[in-house]
Chains A and B, each alone.
Chain A
Amino acid sequence: KAGVTQTPRYLIKTRGQQVTLSCSPISGHRSVSWYQQTPGQGLQFLFEYFSETQRNKGNFPGRFSGRQFSNSRSEMNVSTLELGDSALYLCASSLAGGRTSGANVLTFGAGSRLTVL
């Protein structure tokens, strides 16, 4: 079955712009989580969506937002981009919400690499 699909794979924006990233989870997976990966901070949790509701949120400013649609596809948006937002944004899906464990392990997409100039 198809894995987690993220689009676009690469994009370049300038400071002050906004960006929307898309994620299609594995078929049947209802939970989508987003992570930011940078060389300095590593992998950091942004938020999790389940049944179109944001259930959990990491320590990121309000410029970072997301949503989930009825088909479990998710988008995340970053407004007023800053240079420090340059990162690989990873989406991960799992069968159900709740604590990751066993059959509910996270499966990651290849990521969207955002460069802010």
Chain B
Amino acid sequence: GESVGLHLPTLSVQEGDNSIINCAYSNSASDYFIWYKQESGKGPQFIIDIRSNMDKRQGQRVTVLLNKTVKHLSLQIAATQPGDSAVYFCAEPHNQGGKLIFGQGTELSVKP
């Protein structure tokens, strides 16, 4: 079945550095991916998405890269700030409406 997984459960970076969070997926037919950010005490918040016809998509301080050859995507956060501390999830939609398949999440800690 479908699955998405993250490589590292935790990531600690220095404030101002760039952060890279990785995610692997299993279904070569997957065509759409979403990154969510979940801060403590809050629900997941949409960050950025990417379709499989793209290799790269940029947002504000965030970039998502998609490598379909190795079924891997990454979220890059530039100039990481304390407010970026959160758990980050990659997700892909299931064919069932309303259903997302989430990875286990990477907890990003930003050291001042």
Contact = CB atoms under 8 A, between A and B. Distances in A.
Interface in A50-108: 50, 55-56, 58, 90, 92, 94, 97-102, 105-108
* Chief secondary structure at chain A's binding surface: strand
Interface in B61-112: 89, 93-100, 102-105
* Chief secondary structure at chain B's binding surface: loop
Interface of B: 32, 34, 36, 41-46, 49, 89, 93-100, 102-105
A56 B94 CA distance: 11
B49 A56 contact: no
Contact of B98 (A4, A42, A106, A111): A106
B98 A90 contact: no
Contacts of A106: 46, 98, 100
Contact of A105 (B43, B46, B97): B46
Nearest to B99: A45
Contacts of B104: 42
B100 A45 contact: yes
A110 interface: yes
A107 B49 CA distance: 13
Contacts of B100: 43, 45, 100, 106
